[in-house]
Amino acid sequence: MARVVILGAGVSGHTAALHLRRMMGKEHEVVVVSPNSQWNWIPSNIWVGVGRMAPEAVVFPLAPVYRRAGIAFRQAKAVAIWPEGDANDAHPGVDIVHTSPGREGEAERLTYDYLINATGPKLNFAATPGLGPDANSLSVCTPSHAVQAAAELEKVIAKLTSGERQRLVIGVGHGTCTCEGAAFEYAFNVEHELRAHGVRELADIVYLTNEYELGDFGVGGMVFEQQGFLSTSQLWTESLFRERGVRAIVRAHVERVEPGKLYFETLDGEQDSLLFDFAMLLPPFRGQELSAYDVDGTDITSTMFAPSGFLRVDADYAAKPYDQWLAADWPSTYQSPSYSNIFGVGIAFAPPHPISVPRTSPRGTVISPAPPRTGMPSGVMGRQVARSINDMIRTGSHTPTHTASMTTMGAACIASAGTGLRHGTAAAMTMYPVVPDHARFPGSGRSVKDTYGEVGLAAHWIKRLLHFLFIYKAKARPGWFLIPE
């Protein structure tokens, strides 16, 4: 019998768990470890954050799903990996600390034959002094954060209704942030809400981003063919900003956030400040606080994990200038180079370098988006690693059989720009591949015919449909595996 332990129950970990249980014989065990009792469809948090969706609509309890699927569940936080076991037990294991009611703080050593690290990101609000919902800004990263943001937005709308001007700043709170697409979505959903309430003319909406230009989204922007002409994500994104009257500050790093005022540096080294009445600023990500030890108890965390806290996998982590970056630098199997029975998927794996061009201000501040690894790519990674582990268990091999390189993977993304079945809009985007390959596709690094971007009502309908489809899939309802990642 083999036991596969999965750390994390987000898109990647949950997907891997469901596929493993579907593929493996009942004599094998699948165990999921997550500190959270509920699964969250994160893309819909933005609608919770403007009061258009109840938080209950974006979450569901994990335990009943896993019980029905035959997956063991530990509501706990992983704190340390022992990939060689220790002096008392040679079996590999992971130390966990329970978070479930009645077992809070209880420690357990969970042994494994295969381990998938899908812990996702630590929301690193501490990287920017004063950033975050426990300090001086808001977030929509979790359902509770989104509920708080909606309540504060309601207060802003009340002030606007009474004739009091308000400034809303929405964007990212650090020069190395990722998930610019989520900030974009929230900015335009807020703008849509203000118009719906008839108070838009009294509001100054500012979009603050570390992107070099609008439409970068952390993937270096996109070039695509539209009505026989080449266009770019920068052009249609800038057009939307002009149409909606949203002012953008690009190439910015937030240095600190005080009550009602933030301070930022731009790529040219200039320092400035901005007053606000409402600020939703996404944090940078880093890896969860996981340690690793060899059989003698020697700390090997720095060997297994990158300085960012993300797990090293089969990527080329050698430092090299931008003009020497290759598609081959990126991982394909997500297997740890140190231990063949450990994998890292989704946000939990360490990327070899950004996708966007790296840039640093004259003051030495990195102002460049980190590479996104969420959504569709995360789900595909989870499924393919599950398939590899299933084959490795069956054959006894140490070599993964399936790949999911972001340099050969396409992705589709739909970014909401305001909800409503008659008046909603969204930006539909596809790209192939996610990570540009300039050897295969000279110029932009992507296939122009397979890369696309457009804003409209139809895209909103699709995004709304996907909300229900992916929650259905995540609940492992009949035929769930037929819904693509």
Task: Provide mean pLDDT across the span 391-397.
Answer: 97
pTM: 0.96
Q: What is the pLDDT of residue 381?
A: 97
Residue 18 has pLDDT above 80, yes or no: yes
Q: What is the pLDDT of residue 228?
A: 75
Task: Provide mean pLDDT across the span 47-67.
Answer: 97
Q: Which residue has the higher pLDDT, 449 or 134?
A: 134
Model confidence over 404-460: pLDDT tens digits?
999 999 988 888 888 777 777 888 888 999 999 999 999 899 999 888 877 888 888
String of b and e for 432-462 (b: at least 16 CB within 10 Å)? Answer: bbbbbbeeebeebbbbbeebbbebeeebbee
**Which amino acid, residue 328?**
A
Residue 217 has pLDDT above 90, yes or no: yes
Q: What is the pLDDT of residue 190?
A: 97
Q: Is 450 helix (H, G, I), strand (E, B) or coil?
A: helix
Q: Is 356 helix (H, G, I), strand (E, B) or coil?
A: coil
Q: What is the pLDDT of residue 455?
A: 80
Residue 374 has pLDDT above 90, yes or no: no
- pLDDT band at 219, cuts 50/70/90? very high
Q: What is the pLDDT of residue 423?
A: 79
Q: Name residue 147's beta-bridge partners.
A: none
- pLDDT band at 110, cuts 50/70/90? very high
| DSSP single-letter state for residue 50 | T
Gap between the Cα atoms of 211 and 208, Å rounded: 9
Torsion angle (degrees, nearest 10) of CA 45, 122, 373, 238? 60
Q: What is the pLDDT of residue 56?
A: 97
- pLDDT band at 205, cuts 50/70/90? very high
Model confidence over 188-198: pLDDT tens digits?
999 999 999 99
Written as six digits, the tokens of 324 are 């020497």
Q: What is the pLDDT of residue 224?
A: 84
Q: What is the pLDDT of residue 280?
A: 98
Q: What is the pLDDT of residue 390?
A: 98
Model confidence over 281-312: pLDDT tens digits?
999 999 999 999 999 999 999 999 999 999 99
Q: What is the pLDDT of residue 7?
A: 98
Torsion angle (degrees, nearest 10) of CA 233, 236, 240, 246? 50
Tracing tokens 């943001």 back to the chain, one arrives at 149
Tracing tokens 């002030």 back to the chain, one arrives at 159
Task: Provide mean pLDDT across the span 147-174.
Answer: 98
Torsion angle (degrees, nearest 10) of CA 167, 171, 173, 174? -140
Gap between the Cα atoms of 273 and 259, Å rounded: 12
Gap between the Cα atoms of 470 and 378, Å rounded: 13
Model confidence over 335-365: pLDDT tens digits?
999 999 999 999 999 999 999 999 999 999 9
Q: What is the pLDDT of residue 421?
A: 73
Q: Name residue 343's beta-bridge partners.
A: 116, 335
